[in-house]
Chains A and B, each alone.
Chain A
Amino acid sequence: MCNQRLRKVARVEFGTIEREIHIDASPEVVFDVVSSPEHLREWWPDEAEFPAVPGGAGRIGFGDCTQGGIWVQFAVVEAVPPRLFSFRWTHEEGEPVAPGNSLLVVFELEPAGNGTLLRMTESGFRERGWDEAKVAAEYAEHVTGWDFYLPRLPAYAEKVAAGA
C-alpha cells in the first residue's frame, strides 16, 4: 500500500487525464492485462463482458446487480497487440457509440528496457459533460477501491500463473 511507484505525467489538462507507468513485464503480458475481460475484472469492474476486438461491444458491471449495482456500456475501438488498446465507455445502452456520448480510454504500450512503458489517456469529459464522468468514476472507485483489491491480488496472480 505504501509502495506507490507510479510515475505520473503531471499534465492534468482540463478534460483529459494522462498517465504513464513503467511495468516490469513484457508488452505482450501488459497488453493481455489491459485488454482481456478476465484481467479487466481484477483491476477495475466486477464484471466485464466484451469481445477484445475492434468494434467489440459489451458492458462492464460495478457492484452486485441485485443490490443496486450498475452496468455500463463498453465498446472496443482499437486492438493492436501488443501496442495499442482503446475503448469507449459510459454511452447509453442502445445508442451508437461515438465521440460526444462516451469517454475514450487509450492504452499505448512501448517496450522499455526489459519491461513496458504504459501510457493511458482518458478523454471526452468536455464533450460528455462532467457529471456522468464524475459519477461513473466515483462509483467505480468506490466499489473497486485499492483496499478492496489489494488482498485479492496474490491469490489471483497464482491462479493466472497456474493456468499459464
Chain B
Amino acid sequence: MSVMVDDDLWSAVGDPIRRRMLDLLLNDGSGTATSLSERLPVTRQAVAKHLVVLDRVGLVHATTAGREKQFRVDQAQLARAVAQLAEVGAAWDARLQRIKRIAETIQRRRGTTNDSEKKQ
C-alpha cells in the first residue's frame, strides 16, 4: 500500500510542469488554476489536471474559500518526496568515497601521480 503511494508520489513530482507549479505555490503561499496558468506555458485546463495529480498524492491541498479553489503545498509530503531522493543520493556519496579511496590508494602505491600528463 505505502509502496504504491511512494511510486505515485514520485511520478507526481517527476513532471517538470508540476515541479514549476510546486515552486510557484511555495513562493506565493497559495494559488489557483487560473493564477498558475497565467505564469506557465500551459492552459488553465492543463494546470487543473496537474493539480488533480498533485492533490491525489497529497502534495497540495485545496480550500474553497473564494470562487475558485485555492491550492497550497503540503510541505511535509513534499519533504518526504525529497527525502526519498536524498536516500539514493547518500548511497552514491558513500560509493564515491569508496571509489576515491581505492583509486588514491592504488595511485599512492604506484607513486607516480603525474603519469597521465607525461603520457600526453
CA distance A158 to B95 in the complex (A): 20
Q: Is B28's CB within 8 Å of the partner chain A?
A: no
Instruction: Verify B113–A24 contact, CB threshold 8 A.
Output: yes
Instruction: Verify A33–B116 contact, CB threshold 8 A.
Output: no
Nearest-neighbour CB distance to chain B for A132, whole angstroms, equals 9
Stretch at the interface among B7-15, B35-43, B62-70: B7-15
1/0 per residue, CB under 8 A from A, across B1-38: the answer is: 00100110111011100010000000000000000000
Instruction: Verify A33–B99 contact, CB threshold 8 A.
Output: yes
* Interface residue from A27, A125, A149 paired with B10 (Cβ < 8 Å): A125
Instruction: Verify B3–A153 contact, CB threshold 8 A.
Output: no
Given the contacts A12-B86, A146-B97, A153-B98, A25 and B104 also touching, CB distance less than 8 Å:
yes
Instruction: Verify B85–A125 contact, CB threshold 8 A.
Output: yes
For A80, the chain B residues whose CB sits under 8 A away are none
Nearest-neighbour CB distance to chain B for A146, whole angstroms, equals 5
Instruction: Verify A120–B92 contact, CB threshold 8 A.
Output: yes
Interface residues on A, range: 35 or more
Q: Is B90's CB within 8 Å of the partner chain A?
A: yes
Instruction: Verify B91–A137 contact, CB threshold 8 A.
Output: yes
For A30, the chain B residues whose CB sits under 8 A away are 99, 103
For B7, the chain A residues whose CB sits under 8 A away are 129-131
Instruction: Verify B99–A34 contact, CB threshold 8 A.
Output: yes
Number of interface residues of B (CB under 8 A): 43
Question: Which residue on chain B has the smallest CB distance to residue A107?
Answer: B99
Interface residues in A8-52 (C-beta closer than 8 Å to B): 8, 12, 14-15, 17, 19, 21, 23-30, 32-34, 39, 42-44
Stretch at the interface among A53-61, A70-78, A92-100, A111-119: A111-119
Q: Is A133's CB within 8 Å of the partner chain B?
A: yes
- For the complex with contacts A12-B82, A26-B113, A28-B116, 8 further pairs of A-B residues with Cβ separation under 8 Å are A14-B81, A21-B99, A21-B100, A24-B107, A125-B14, A125-B88, A137-B91, A161-B105
Q: Interface of B with A (CB < 8 Å)?
A: 3, 6-7, 9-11, 13-15, 19, 81-82, 84-107, 109-110, 113-117
Q: Interface of A with B (CB < 8 Å)?
A: 4-6, 8, 12, 14-15, 17, 19, 21, 23-30, 32-34, 39, 42-44, 82, 111, 114-116, 118, 120, 122, 125-126, 129-131, 133-134, 137-138, 140-141, 144-146, 149, 153-154, 156-158, 160-161, 164
21 pairs, CB–CB < 8 Å, chain A vs chain B: A6-B97, A12-B85, A15-B14, A17-B92, A19-B96, A23-B99, A23-B100, A25-B107, A29-B103, A43-B95, A44-B98, A82-B116, A125-B88, A126-B11, A126-B14, A129-B11, A134-B87, A134-B88, A141-B90, A146-B97, A161-B105
